[in-house]
Copies of this chain bind each other. A is one copy, B any other.
Amino acid sequence: MYIPAIYKNENQEDIKKFIAENGFAILVNQTNAKLWATHIPLILDENEAGKAILVGHISKENPQGESFKTNTEVLAIFTGVHSYISSSWYDHENVPTWNYVAVHVYGKVKTLNLEEATKSLKKLVDKYEATSEKPLRIEDLSKQTMLQARGITAFEIEITGIEAVKKMSQNRDAKNHQNIISELEKTGCPNSILVAQEMSKKP
């Protein structure tokens, strides 16, 4: 991804946290010689060799899974809050822009066997059920329900590169920065308010 230096995020802890909090990703590759993308939750983990991996699964009906056998190159895109930024909110003339946060993870994909797949499903469900009133647990599901696990292709992606952008008007002075936050809040739009909250965080 092209990232101007001022917007590059190289804080690894921050990037890990972002992936954990924005885990619904887009998995991109070339499938049957066509750009292909699937929207799925991915979890950041470590393999037995201690290397950073992403773990996820797609339907067996999705041809992307078949493509993993011959083409291991994938890109996982994690997106966060974003909003249009009007330059009419600045105290000087300029062009409008867009504030956003995103992380691109490059890696090599390999499919998992049924046992590994089931373990990965447990981690995924435990993560998202952590705040449930009555947390669902994979190990409590009937054999019948767990047959659905045979309908998926589970995989891990050995990470080869991470690129992270955080474009949050860092190029503006304190006065303009604060004014952008106030104007975003005024819009009443949920996305804009989330960007205002992100911009308000101490770096």
A residues bordering B, Cβ < 8 Å?
Answer: 1-2, 4, 24, 26, 28-30, 34-41, 58-59, 61-64, 73-75, 77, 79, 82, 84, 86-88, 93-96, 98, 100, 102, 104, 106, 125, 128-129, 131-136, 141-142, 145, 148, 165, 187, 190, 194
Contact of A86 among B26, B36, B128 (CB under 8 A): B128
Copies in the complex: 2
**Complex-state Cα separation, A4 to B28, whole angstroms:** 19
Instruction: Report chain B residues within 8 Å CB of A129.
Output: 86, 88, 96
**Complex-state Cα separation, A63 to B1, whole angstroms:** 9
CB atoms of B98 and A40 under 8 A apart: yes
**Complex-state Cα separation, A4 to B74, whole angstroms:** 23
A35: nearest chain-B partner, CB-CB: B75
Instruction: Report chain B residues within 8 Å CB of A77.
Output: 26, 37
